[in-house]
Structure 1
């Protein structure tokens, strides 16, 4: 597994939980710690608990509200910008904050209403382990933000707006003088794609190593803000429920640990990654909602048949209380998920990001639920249908369509985007790359697709399918063929109600619209092009890129 300064990792061959057995060995390395580390201990300065790990890291936690008020590494203060601390949400306010030491571990506990939050420091480590137990919706979202002083880590990445103040949407999407856009939303990454996020400069790396997100919502392909950087400083996030682009109900309970980690410039130790990290040292600390490894189970699948080997397959578990996922092995589809909370789950097999198989699974504490070979029926994969023509492929993403890659880290108005208008000719060889990944009512509605039919094809009725991955403001496609036949306006499927297409995410609920086109709609002259017009219809939305819109997965005309 490789890392880079911005935290990107190659997860394509990674199976969640396969490294669990190596956990004990991993602890012999950078996480070993020592109760005798010089300087390890804590003090009370009146307003804060002050903890020295004995390894160069000194942190302070407010006794009033549980904010992290100071983060000093090797003599340099990293915490804070704009007079703000690091904390849950935008700060909890008045809370009960306590401290306890257990051998080489110091635990600070924060109680605010029904919410419980924890900081743990270990002797000899430059890490802070955090857990958050959100019991209900009395706290709006679930995020922790590490606020970092200005000037320590400067970059000009998509999720930075250090060098620009001109806004193009709301107050959080910015444009540079060269027309490139920046926003804290533009992380590029899905949850499954990264283990850590942060910066490195001057021989120091500051990172958040994410938790396993078992209490988060949205599944393995969810995208959310991970970090930002502006003129006043930067922020690193652990987002568990943000309320934007959410496709699932919020889950409650204890989440963690996630880790604030300092290094001497390199990536954080892989021993801290959620699939590797073991925290037996925390089993007896009294953390509310904590379930040790022996209270968890495992799910393993022998393999998956019926796969399209051109795609990566992911297996997810989702229940009302927790979620997990793992990548199926390319050669045979084997998968494994460890440290799963006991309960009943829906297991979903994804081709790319498209669900192609579901089943029910029960997990018990201390046991492995072994599944036999899972078969994906041919009919479950829409790519297997015989077609007259197809634009794109069915994988649950807009991948391959015009501007699709750019849209995970830029606004649609970005100067690097190809024009959103333009028609498509079947047989040109560029059907997919010429077709825009997003369609909006106020931008490129009315796009035309030209295609020819044989005499036999023109004599028959056909089904047209348009697959979408999400929509904004109930935008959905209505089609017209040759100006003579127009479909009914389809009902809108359930989709997230917040911005998606303009904040780096095409992820919503995959849906397929089908249109039964009668033979009378086709041209009988086989030398002429039939013309398919696709309009976006909705009574909602505003203008431009915030008008009603939708993201395209694939379009095809069945035989």
Structure 2
């Protein structure tokens, strides 16, 4: 489609702001009138690319303390603005630095900022994120998780400078996270004003479908609304470069529908690295072998991109539109990897690739928990995503005993802290001596290189090597997912006897730490089988 481009020179306009759709230059800054019914007016700094003003329905939503920007602010950039005519009319602001180009696109008649960020290396000015710094007086609330990440009026901190106490409850910006696969819309708002991030497939981010990161935080001085692309928070993959987005900052009077979003026109605006739908391909097929009660998730990844989808109840699936290339294809039993294969995606083509679970049947003696890659059935797991382990609403953290066939699963703490909850004792009775067996301990996350150390009756298992370290605090910042290590301990014949038996599991590490920052592992499941 032919696009007409109108560049906006620095000297082209007077200081009068346009009264209809378009962009003007006011004292070296770009003022965009969206021409929307809600009279959205956005001002972008012509030197730094910071958004300095967001006027919506007559309200100044932008915080006066700092601008809204990519990373921690570019400082300086080459900032240009142009008006484009295609299937609609657009204003496109381009902010260029040697390794990062940020785009702000406003479409005529809409109260939305279509944002995208192209990078060739991780920015030196801070984490790769977009942060809208908004007026906390007008937008005090957070959606969908409420006050767990609202840290305004805190009484003090319980950990570092980012976990606070407010009215006796622990709160942190980390507790606003949602799994990437489910994170489509998150907002900050009042009763009548909403600023929301609407997120597509995060194809250039890293971490997969179950990765989580900061979404929002009312810190008192301002309310922050985020889209994190690369952060290092429990990061399990190398960063991906290329184009992140488009992602959408929408201003509205209620929570907008993600299903109503359409960015198929985005190829008209000429954004670096954008791959249109016509140059993408898909994968279809059927996933099998995932038992009832578990989610069936498909995940495709390579060094350049990542994608995911839920399968239908009958196991059939269709991937999102993907960039061409060779991909690892992973089938998950909820979050537990059940099978892996490889598939090639071609432009304008659909590839068929079925995948069956590779989890083999076992002669299980007993099992504690479920192999789902999550700690959700264990003690305190239902609260851990939204509060610090020290919170008074948590059940006490202490060494525990789980009696097979008698105890509830929430008797097992979700995390084994070397300094608090180790050991976990599993007691069980056998009708006769058991020959050689395997004790399998699954973990979802390790902190400080911790791994399980086990003792079965009087037999001490060989300690495994230290787990791969993640440069992040893990459990205390609302995370439970890391590399997902599974440890097998070969129990010799004669150890498991008729009558009462015990298994003792502790968190082992050569690292130091105390309390909730002592070495720890998050539990997935424990199984004894032959």
TM-score (structure 2 length as normaliser): 0.92
Alignment of 1:116-515 (within 5 A): 116-139=101-124, 140-155=126-141, 157-178=147-168, 180-268=169-257, 270-272=259-261, 277-280=262-265, 282-301=266-285, 303-330=286-313, 332-371=314-353, 373-379=354-360, 384-457=361-434, 460-482=435-457, 484-515=458-489
Q: Distance in 2 between matches of 1:359 and 1:311?
A: 20
Give 1:47 deviation, angstroms: 3.1
Q: Distance in 1 between matches of 2:93 and 2:208?
A: 30
Q: Could you say what secondary structure the match of 1:433 adopts? A: helix
Deviations 1:269-298 (A, max 9, x none): 5322xxxx2332x32322111111111111
Deviates more, 1:303-312 or 1:131-140: 131-140
Gaps of 5+ in 2: 1-17
Deviations 1:478-499 (A, max 9, x none): 11222x2212221123342311
Partner of 1:30: none
Q: Distance in 1 between matches of 2:274 and 2:255?
A: 31
Q: Could you say what secondary structure the match of 1:424 adopts? A: strand
Q: Distance in 2 between matches of 1:442 and 1:221?
A: 28
Give 1:195 deviation, angstroms: 0.8
Give 1:447 deviation, angstroms: 2.3
Partner of 1:113: 98
CA shift in 2, pair 1:422/1:444, >3 Å: closer
Q: Could you say what secondary structure the match of 1:452 adopts? A: strand
Deviations 1:47-77 (A, max 9, x none): 3100001111000111101111111101111
Contact preservation (8 Å) 2:185, 2:258: no
Q: 1:522 aligns with which of 481, 496, 512?
A: 496
Q: 1:96 aligns with which of 67, 78, 84?
A: 78
TM-score (structure 1 length as normaliser): 0.87
Contact preservation (8 Å) 2:232, 2:471: no
Q: Distance in 1 between matches of 2:253 and 2:394?
A: 38
Contact preservation (8 Å) 1:174, 1:183: yes
Q: 1:547 aligns with which of 505, 518, 521?
A: 518
Q: Distance in 1 between matches of 2:414 and 2:255?
A: 37
Indicate the RMSD between aligned Cα atoms, in angstroms.
Answer: 1.7
Q: How many residues align?
A: 503
Contact preservation (8 Å) 1:495, 1:508: no
Q: Distance in 2 between matches of 1:216 and 1:378?
A: 29
Deviations 1:89-114 (A, max 9, x none): 11011110001101210000000122
Gaps of 5+ in 1: 1-36
Q: Distance in 2 between matches of 1:251 and 1:95?
A: 22
Contact preservation (8 Å) 2:450, 2:508: yes
Q: Distance in 1 between matches of 2:123 and 2:358?
A: 44
Higher relative contact order (Cα pairs below 8 Å, separated by 6+ residues): 1
